[in-house]
Amino acid sequence: MTTNTATAITAATADADLTPGIAAAEAARTRLDFAKAAPKVFRAIVGFDAAAREGLDPALVELIQIRASHLNHCAYCLHMHTNDARKAGENEDRLHMVAVWREARHFFTPKEQAALALTEAVTLVADGGVPDAVYAEAAAHFDDRELAHVLSLILTINTWNRVALATGKVAGTDERTG
């Protein structure tokens, strides 16, 4: 058996072992279903999210969403967006380095670094606002339209994180797929 085959079998076994646990956690969830309880609000957030993404590089979109989800401790969104990034062809090494991007800058372009710094500042706005230097660096890498979309994306992922955390969403489930 090759190493790749053994790794694939191990990964498949691990996924199979997790599936009953995920199903049990989802079944035990007792909080409200936000989409069903407030469908108009839910659709508005979905629309805001879709509009925010327009014209942005899909890899950058996922990096922003992953970093905000780290900061907000949202396992549901982190699981979802790391999977989305993989499906979009994102490199595993980069995914592992997002949480420590400042120590691993060589994995990210200057534009991505500016977006990650802005994501941190906006997500943690109560800790010190959005510093002028962080904003200026982002503005140096994005035109006004792009910057507005990056800010909108940061706002939407922070909203999604809060919805997922407040309603007890379970990591490993993804209701977008049915």
CA separation (Å) from 86 to 9, 63, 73, 95, 124? 19, 11, 20, 9, 26
Q: Which residues of the chain have pLDDT under 70?
A: 1-30, 176-178
At position 31, the amino acid (one-letter code) is: R
Q: Is the dihedral of CA 18, 24, 30, 36 positive or negative?
A: positive
The pLDDT of residue 30: 64
CB contact at 8 A, 86 and 95: yes
Tell me what pLDDT residue 114 has.
98
Query: Per the confidence metrics, is the pTM higher than 0.85?
Result: no
- In terms of Cα–Cα distance, which of 156, 158, 122 is closest to 138? 122
Q: What is the pLDDT of residue 19?
A: 67
The confidence score (pLDDT) of residue 7 equals 39
